[in-house]
Amino acid sequence: MKLADVQFLAGKAAEIRLNLLKMIFKAKMGHTGSSLSDTDILTTLYYDVMQLRVDEPDWEERDRFILSKGHAVESYYCILADMGFIDKEELNTFCQYQTRLIGHPNNKVPGIEMNTGALGHGLSIAVGMAKAAKMDNKDYRVFVLMGDGEQAEGSVWEAAMAGAHFGLDNLIGIIDRNRLQITGATEEVMGIEPLVGKWRNFGWQVLEIDGHNYGELKKCLSSTPVEEGKPTMILANTIKGKGVSFIENKAGWHHRVPSASELNQAVEELSPLIGVDIDG
Neighbours of 84 (CB within 10 A): 12
Mean pLDDT over residues 179-194, rounded?
91
Polymer length in residues for the chain = 280
Cα–Cα distance between 253 and 231 in angstroms, integer?
33
pLDDT band at 2 (very low <50, low <70, confident <90, very high): confident
Q: How many helices (H) and strands (E) does the chain have?
A: 9, 7
Per-domain residue ranges of the chain: 3-274
Q: Architecture of domain 3-274 in CATH?
A: 3-Layer(aba) Sandwich (3.40)
Question: What DSSP designation does 49 have?
Answer: I
Q: In this predicted structure, what is the pLDDT of residue 142?
A: 98
Mean pLDDT over residues 141-167, rounded?
97
Q: In this predicted structure, what is the pLDDT of residue 278?
A: 38
Q: In this predicted structure, what is the pLDDT of residue 275?
A: 66
For residue 279, pLDDT beyond 50: no
Q: What is the pLDDT of residues 187-245, one digit of tens each?
A: 999 999 999 999 999 999 999 999 999 999 999 999 878 899 999 999 999 999 999 99
Cross-strand partners of 205 = 232
pLDDT band at 183 (very low <50, low <70, confident <90, very high): confident
Q: Tell me the average pLDDT of the chain.
A: 95
Q: In this predicted structure, what is the pLDDT of residue 225?
A: 85
Across the chain, where does the E strand assignment appear?
A: 64-67, 142-147, 171-177, 180-181, 184-185, 205-210, 232-237
Q: What is the pLDDT of residues 200-212, one digit of tens each?
A: 999 999 999 999 9
pLDDT band at 167 (very low <50, low <70, confident <90, very high): very high
